Amino acid sequence: MINYCGVEFKNPMVVASSPLTSKIERLIEAEKAGAAAVSTKLAFIRQPFYGKLRMHTYLNNGSIICYDRRNDIEESLKLVDEGKKRTSLKIFTNITHDSQDMDGWAYLAKKHEEAGADLIEANMVCPNIGLSTKNIRGESAISEHEHGGAVTGQNPERIAQIVKVLKETVKIPVVVKLTPNVADIGVTAKAAEDAGADGVCIAGAQSSLPLVDIYNEGKPQYRLLNGVSHGSLGGPSTKLMCFSLVANIAKKTNLPIVGGGGLETWQDCIMMMMWGAKLVTVCTAAMWYGWEVITKQVIGMEKYMQEMGYSDYSQITGKSLQYLRSSSELEALKGWATVNVEKCIGCGKCEKPAHCDAVKIVNKKAVIDPEKCLGCGICEALCPTKAISMYVAE
Ligand SMILES: Cc1cc2nc3c(=O)[nH]c(=O)nc-3n(C[C@H](O)[C@H](O)[C@H](O)COP(=O)(O)O)c2cc1C
């Protein structure tokens, strides 16, 4: 069991707010797959624009979401109510609203609490409902038509104002899902913490643009949209960036973190926890490859915990933070790349890096000059037989 903001979770797995959590049938699937929790599809009192899912997908890289069908409040309340009655999932309810209308935020939160939600997840992340409608035209990010999402999450005062209202309104925990589209997420997370937020949720969701057809006037390759907006990025290309966001928040606040962004394997989930997350979220990987992704992650994490002799996920949360230093505190350790000649097949991949003078293929084997080795580690990454490793000298 994991205690997150006073709510008990049977494991760290939360299925992230998305089409995976937009209807009751999917919540049932999420539970069957082994998830402990879901974050329901984003709810508005009235959504600012309707549309079916439109996204650009590049396997092994990411998906850029231009828009998705959100839920109006009635649909969302029904979903939460049924979700609580028909599953034993813990439910985060993902809501957003015009950031200048506090009554609207309070109404959304109160209604979802009454419907049975376990936690409020205030959406200050979605780039589609703010950044892409305003910034692209060069307009001010804050306007009277601001629809929440990432625009709100860029403004520490607004975050604080909304968190305070939510905290005054509901008894269930208030978690803020913050946009990564800021200079320092530590600042916005701190604003949420100081205002009384119980937790914070992190995802890639960087505003991004898709590949275009270079033989067709630069038209975006995906066909079911008449153009493109700065969409929200999900998937493996965001993973390392999300580690950084989570670790930054873990260092700068005491907020318990729900960490997601590009988590495809159970090892990814464990790493996210080691960078500071208490719970993890998954979306794109399950949208690409099915519910079995979640099952494998849950089983894999549990097996890992047993094998490593950990009795509680809190024992791994933030373990890697001890290695996080400012760059001025880093010391380069002396060392160089070395070759295991038995394993080397002389393919020459390691000889290619354009910046390197250290590696040569001699008699069909890699030979490395320690004096010339810069220590970049690229040859180790390129080697198909794992014949190269970085040697650390005393
Ligand atoms: C199609 C799609 C729709 C999404 N809709 C929402 C949403 O309604 N609310 C929200 O907070 N996040 C939404 N997200 C973001 C996900 O919840 C998740 O945080 C993000 O995709 C990062 O995780 P991933 O890399 O595992 O996909 C959506 C993502 C996708 C792919």
Digit-coded pLDDT (tens) for 96-106: 988 888 999 99
Q: What is the pLDDT of residue 188?
A: 97
Statement: residue 192 has pLDDT above 60: yes
Does domain 2-323 fall into CATH 3.20.20.70? yes
Cα within 13 Å of Cα(269), Cβ side: 30
For residue 286, which atom of ligand 1 is closest to its CA? Answer: 26
- Ligand 1 pocket test: pick from 97, 232, 258 the residue with the most ligand atoms within 8 Å of its Cβ: 232
Find where tokens 């975006």 sit: 220
- Ligand 1 pocket test: pick from 71, 201, 283 the residue with the most ligand atoms within 8 Å of its Cβ: 283
Beta carbons within 10 angstroms of residue 330's beta carbon? 8
Strand partners, 219: 213
**What is the distance in A from the centroid of ligand 1 to the CA of 312?**
28
**What is the distance in A from the centroid of ligand 1 to the CA of 161?**
24
- Ligand 1 pocket test: pick from 14, 18, 151, 271 the residue with the most ligand atoms within 8 Å of its Cβ: 18
5 flagged as catalytic: no
Q: Which residue has the higher pLDDT, 368 or 52?
A: 368
Statement: residue 136 has pLDDT above 50: no
Q: Where are the domains of the chain?
A: 2-323, 332-392
* 3-class DSSP assignment, residue 299: helix
C-beta of 65 in contact with ligand 1 (< 6 A): yes
Nearest CA to ligand 1 atom 30: 18
The one catalytic residue in 66, 126, 269, 383 is: 126
CA distance 336 to 389: 8
The mean predicted confidence, pLDDT, of the chain is: 93
Locate 16 and state its tokens: 């992230």
For residue 282, which atom of ligand 1 is closest to its CA? Answer: 26
Report the predicted TM-score, pTM, of the whole model to 2 decimal places: 0.95
CA distance 213 to 199: 42
CATH number of 332-392: 3.30.70.20
